[in-house]
Structures are given as structure tokens and as C-alpha cells.
Amino acid sequence: INAEYMGKKAIAYYEAVLEHKQIIPFRRHLKGTGRNTQAKAFKCVFGRWPEKSVTKMHSLLKNLHSNAEAKGLDTEKCVITNVVIQRAAQGRRRTYRAHGRISPYKSSNCHVQFYLTEKAEGVKKAEKVGVRLTKRQAGQQRLAIGGGSS
């Protein structure tokens, strides 16, 4: 996700990925990842359409949009300032194997946080004030003007 929210744009991007009209570029963990020409738009060669994660992020963005409206924020001026994804406690299940053995069957869960802020109106720059002097410089100017004896 880019830093700019553009809620409709991000949601539309995820919908296009689900329809296989856009691609998610893969720049890391490329072993076994196929090449695709859609990735050229991102100056990359490898990419996929990860439907499970895209549907989750798509629903989170829609939820974020509706939460912003419920709070009374102007969604056109809202910007995602930060996205934090942290590791959560692993889900533990068991799978039954041959010869009466049991193995762990874990899931890697995560916490996702979006920080959404409303963009403020631009503030005009204040007029430039004269050069600020230190106490020493001001004292030297007073001496030069007054013509004090040394």
C-alpha cells in the first residue's frame, strides 16, 4: 500500500488483483515464483495473485473506510500514515500421521494496524522576519552605534 490513502484507489487495486487484471510484484522469496508480464508495470519480473491475503487486506481496507466515516472523518482527505504488521501467537492444532504418530499443525497469525489521519489544510508560510541576533551581536551593535569608549 502506498502512503497516500486514496481509499477507492487501493480498494480498486485489490479488486483488480482478484480479477487477475493487476499483479502483486514479488521481490523477495522468489523460489518457485513464476514470471509474468503484468509485473513489468512495477519494474519487476516475478509476481502472483495471492487471493487469500488480498481478500483479507481488501476487507480490512473496506472496514477502515467505514470506520473513518463512522468517526465523522472526511474520507477524501484521509491518509494512511503508517501500517504495522506484527507477529501474533501461533495457532496450535495437531495432525494425525501414519503409524499412530501426531505432529503439530501451526498457523502463523499476525496483527495488522492502520494509522489513518485526516490531512490538514495547507498553512501559509509566515513572512520573513529580520535577521535574529544573539545577545553578543546585539551588544556589539549598540557599542558601534553609541560610540562607547574602550
pLDDT tens for the chain, residues 1 to 150: 444 455 678 889 999 999 999 999 999 888 888 889 999 999 999 999 999 999 999 999 999 989 999 999 888 888 888 899 999 999 999 999 999 999 999 999 999 999 988 888 888 888 888 888 899 988 888 888 876 555
Partners of 79 in beta bridges = 117
Q: Nearest Cα to 11, choosing from 47, 64, 50? A: 64
Distance CA 83, CA 113 (A): 6
CA distance 46 to 65: 31
Query: How far is Cα 95 from Cα 57, in angstroms, rounded to an integer?
Result: 29
The whole model's pTM is what?
0.68
SS3 label, residue 14 = helix
Q: Tell me the three cell numbers of residue 82.
A: 503508517
Alpha-carbon distance 5 to 78, whole Å? 6
Task: Identify the pLDDT of residue 24.
Answer: 93
63: Cα within 13 Å, side-chain hemisphere: 9
The single residue listed with the C-alpha cell 489544510 is 121
User: Is the sign of the CA dihedral 32, 83, 118, 125 positive or negative?
Assistant: negative
